[in-house]
Every structure is written in structure tokens, then in C-alpha cells.
Chains A and B, each alone.
Chain A
């Protein structure tokens, strides 16, 4: 990746952030997550439950959207670009510590980041751990008596608590995207502006410029 930066780009003022398979994985996962969280809210929150009733229908939709949640990710593994970004989002770079310190102290201004900042790395890992916990406890509720040594009440307890945590964290994810049109453009079209990249992911912008 030297000397040819920009030459593959259709729009020279733009920078490629996500490939089509990556955006499809994100869109499908987001849709399933919204269906799963939405049905959960209508099953769990009293006033919403009174509004729609139809508990069995909601349960079926909730169960299947939950079961299918990892499917886009697993299909995405077939794409080289997706695997490459997974490797990048996994690894902590030295300047990520600086990013985390800046966030902790609330220091304004640009923070150092590669293609993914430290927050995105932690978010990706956390949600990748939370979804299997939800699937496991959810399956225990779905197929009662599957593992009789785990109490049903315990499985529901962990499912409910983790659900609340996921609700808060996913809302945070959506809020950050809401405030950043540049990032949304990247996820929608696959391209971001150089200015956005330099402000939000300076190390990545440098690297892409070659």
C-alpha cells in the first residue's frame, strides 16, 4: 500500500472506509438487533405490553431474531475485507491508550486513532461477548430443562440484566452515530471525506495517504 493512494478511488476527495460486504453485515445485524430489542421491550415493559398484547407472536419474532443475530457476522467472515477489519478492530495500538485517557479526562480536541478508535474496539468485543450470553440464556428459557443443573430463574435473571446493559450500550452506539453524519455516511456509502478521517481517525488517514 504505497504511492497509489487515491488512484483506486472514484471520488478523489473521498476515502474508502467500508466494503459492500461489511456494510451488508452491519445493516443486517442492526436490523436483527432492532427487531430483537424492540420485541423485547414489548414483552418486558408493562405499558408497551398492554398496548400490543399478542405475546406468543412477539415471543416467536424475538426468539428468531435473536437466534439469527450472529448469522450476518458469520456469513461476513467469507469476505476478506471483513476479516481484515476484524483483525484491526481487535488490536490495541499504543495511541489507543492515549485516546482512552483523553476520553476519561474529557479532554476536547482530536484524539489519536487508527481506522478504529479504542472505544470502537471495546464496543465490538463487548457486544460479541454479550450476544452469546443472551443466546445461551435465551435458549435455556426457550427449551426448558435443557440443562437442568442451571436454574431457570438464574438464566432469566442473567438474560434480563444483560438485556438492560445491551439496551443502554446500543442506545449509546446509536447516539454517537446520530451526532456524527460523517460516520453515518461511511457506513451508508462506504466512503468518508478526508477531512472526517483526519479529524476522527488521523493515524488511519495518514496511513491511507501513504
Chain B
């Protein structure tokens, strides 16, 4: 090390260097031999960057990803297509043609209870729509076949003070709601078939609701009761903050 301290100002420089050396010394004592590149911080920032880049790119890459993921046999990849099983109840009893009943009551002129065979004997409507869950999965262009809700309401005769519908389910927990206006749309159906096959228990069979223009939580599985009410009674998830009107086309994206 050279010591040129004959010049003016050199003394100050030397003091600064000494101070710098002391700081280095402190650092060295903190992590001897480990004062290299901050690799953990870089890994962290890279991951954060990747996450936010993916968030920004998601709308652009999602379709391509779903095409890619649809060949995933495990169905574990997000967007791999197909339905996912959601239930808010601990366990759900199975109902068959023998013991299934759909009760229609509340503010109607003619309360009625249907068996599965009676529902099958009524005029059938086929609605094809996208299934979109709030939890990110969707199944495009899915056909549902069953009795249109309008038809069931006409048969039961809605009393003038009726404003909305409350749906109950034989899982004993789930409930849903629609206004009468929403319920009378042509793309709302009390479905018995999905993808042209009888609804299975896992998919909400033997009878579920399908409300094509709304998020899938509006399409109650295991439907067992329809009650006409004088105002909208928020359904299960709606009590926990979900939109009472679950329109698909009002999505942020």
C-alpha cells in the first residue's frame, strides 16, 4: 500500500479510506467469506418479477395455456378443462329417480311436487352456454337440457306479490336466488341432462339449475325446492359477499 500524504487534501482522503476500511471490516466480521452477491434477494426479486409479469401477461397467454393444459391427464394443471367439484356441505346424500322430489311453493297459486319422471315428461329445453366458475375454471359450450324455469312457473301460477325465487338444495345447506325477471329468461333451465347425459351426483344431479348468463355459483346443484318470494333473499355465497346478480359480462376483464 502506498502512502502519498504530502499533498494537501491527501490527509482527508486517507481518513476517508480508513473509514471505508473500517466499514468493510465490520462487514467482514458479520459474514466472513460470505459477502458476495445477494443471491437470495435476487431469487426473491426474480420470483416477484415473474409473478407480476405473469399477472400482466395472463390475459394474453391464458387461451394458449388452456389448449396446452387440456391434454393434462391428471387435471391438476389450472385451466386443464373439465368440472371441479365444489360443495359447501360435509356430505351430500345421493338421490335417484326413486326418491328425488322437486317442490315448488311459496307465493304460487298451485304448489306442486314433481318426481324425476314427471320432470322428464315435461317439454324439454336445451341451452348451450359457457360454464364459468368464480374460482377460475371454465367449460366452454356446455349443453344443459331440462325444463325451462318459465314453464314451471307458469304451471304453478306466480301470485301478483311474487318478485323473486329462492332455490334450496338437498345437500341441506346451499341456497340461491334469482329475480323473477332473471328466472324468466330463455337461457335459464332446471337441468336434468348435461352434455346430453343424465346429470351425475358429482355434477349436481339428478336435477340442478343452469343459469347460462351468470357465474356458475348461481346454478345451484342438487336442486330440491323452488319458492316464490316477495323479495330477493341472498343465497349461500351471497351471504359471504358474492354478487347477488352474478352476471358474467360485468367482469372486470
Cβ contact within 8 Å between A84 and B30:
yes
| A-B CB proximity, top 7 nearest | A129-B47, A125-B43, A151-B253, A154-B58, A156-B136, A133-B51, A125-B40
Query: Chain B, interface size: which category?
Result: 35 or more
Contacts of A132 in B (CB 8 A): 48, 51
Show 25 residue pairs from A and B whose CB-CB distance is below 8 angstroms, ordered by the A residue. A50-B202, A54-B89, A55-B88, A84-B31, A88-B34, A90-B39, A91-B37, A91-B38, A93-B33, A94-B33, A114-B33, A125-B42, A125-B47, A133-B48, A149-B252, A152-B253, A154-B62, A155-B55, A155-B58, A156-B135, A157-B62, A157-B136, A158-B54, A160-B79, A203-B33
Closest residue of A by beta carbon distance from B65:
A157
Q: Closest B residue to A54 by CB, please name it.
A: B90
Interface residues of B, dominant DSSP: loop
Please measure, in the bound complex, the distance between the C-alpha atom of A150 and the C-alpha atom of B42, giving whole angstroms.
Answer: 26
> B78 to chain A: which residues have CB within 8 Å?
156-157, 160-161, 164
Chain A nearest Cβ from B57, distance in angstroms = 8
Residues on A with C-beta less than 8 A from B79 are 157, 160
B residues bordering A, Cβ < 8 Å? 30-48, 50-52, 54-55, 58-59, 62, 65, 75-79, 84-92, 134-136, 202, 236, 240-241, 251-253
Question: What is the minimal beta-carbon distance from B24 to any residue of chain A, in angstroms?
Answer: 14
Residue on B nearest A51 in the bound complex, by CB = B91
Q: Choose the segment among A4-12, A116-124, A173-181 that binds chain B (4+ C-beta atoms closer than 8 Å).
A: A116-124
Contact A129 B240 (CB under 8 A): no
Question: Quick one: CB contact mask for A44-65 with B, threshold 8 Å, 1 for yes?
Answer: 1110011011111000000000
Q: Please state if A129 and B253 are interface contacts (CB–CB under 8 Å).
A: no
Interfacial residues of chain A within 67-94, with CB under 8 A of chain B in the complex: 84, 87-94
| A160 B136 Cβ-Cβ under 8 A | yes
CB pair A137–B62 under 8 Å, yes or no, is no
- Residues from chain A with Cβ under 8 Å of B52 in the complex: 133
A102 to B138 CA separation, bound complex (whole angstroms): 45
Q: Chain A residues with Cβ under 8 A from B85's Cβ?
A: 46, 49-50
Contact bitstring A7-32, B, C-beta under 8 A = 1, else 0: 00000000000000000000000000
Q: Please state if B34 and A153 are interface contacts (CB–CB under 8 Å).
A: no
Are the C-beta atoms of B48 and A91 separated by less than 8 Å? Answer: no
In the complex, whether A130 has a CB less than 8 A from a CB of chain B is: yes
Known: A129-B45, A158-B55. 13 other contacts (CB 8 A): A49-B84, A49-B86, A53-B90, A89-B40, A91-B35, A92-B38, A93-B34, A124-B43, A126-B47, A129-B44, A133-B48, A158-B54, A203-B33
